[in-house]
Amino acid sequence: MALSDRPAERHREVCLVFTDRVRGARRWDAPAPVAGWTALDVVRHLTEWFPGFLAAGTGIELPAGPALDDDPVAAWQHHRDAVQALLDDPATADRVFAHPHLGELPLYRAIDQFYTTDVFMHTWDLARATGQDDRLDPDFCAALLAGMEPMEAVIRSSGHYGVRVPVEHDADAQTRLLGFIGRDPNWTPTP
């Protein structure tokens, strides 16, 4: 199933899969593919970086929710719903996101480009850490990779991505994307 090209709908679809992985997690202390992270840290990353990014670029404050350490599932679902509400709200349709390094862009595009794609890629991390289905939408993997490769120098200098992991030249789009963002597609947790 190809993901929607409409930001609100794409966010809903990507978060549906991530939420399924959050609900399926049984060991929050399981190591994750990001060095030094656990399964819980994957969810923590997504619920903690975006509120500050959003507030700095728009002045919008997301409502506080349950504490992640007390209830990761409820904390994630609250956060997911707050972001979805922004995308679904006609009052925010014309809001602008402004960032000193990114310039100005529509809020819905900023969420789609920076946050929804992050949720999408971290779905693999959480799935791998917790032994769940780690397949990602192949068309979206290919589209992300095609958009990111021309900006590799900028992406690498941001410090947000690891060193590119070599993969076979004829590997599928998911494997190539994972290698590009610094993940070893063959990573498995150590018991």
pLDDT tens track for 37-96: 999 999 999 999 999 999 999 999 999 999 999 999 999 999 999 999 999 999 998 999
Q: Residue 34: helix, strand or coil by DSSP? A: coil
Mean predicted confidence (pLDDT) in 110-124: 97
Least Cα distance to 25 among 133, 105, 121, 114 occurs for 133
| Residues ≥6 apart with Cβ < 8 Å to 47 | 68, 75, 76, 79
Work out the average pLDDT over 95-106: 89
Q: Name the phi and psi angles at 99, rounded to 5.
A: -140, 140
Structure tokens at 93: 């349709």
- What's the CATH architecture for 20-134? Up-down Bundle (1.20)
What DSSP character marks residue 90?
Answer: G
Phi, psi of 104 (to 5 degrees): -105, 140
Rounded to 10 deg, the angle between the 39-58 and 72-88 helix axes is 30
pLDDT band for position 191 (50/70/90)?
low
- In whole angstroms, give the CA distance from residue 78 to residue 164: 33
Name the DSSP letter for residue 13: H
Looking at the chain, the domain(s) classified CATH 1.20.120 span 20-134
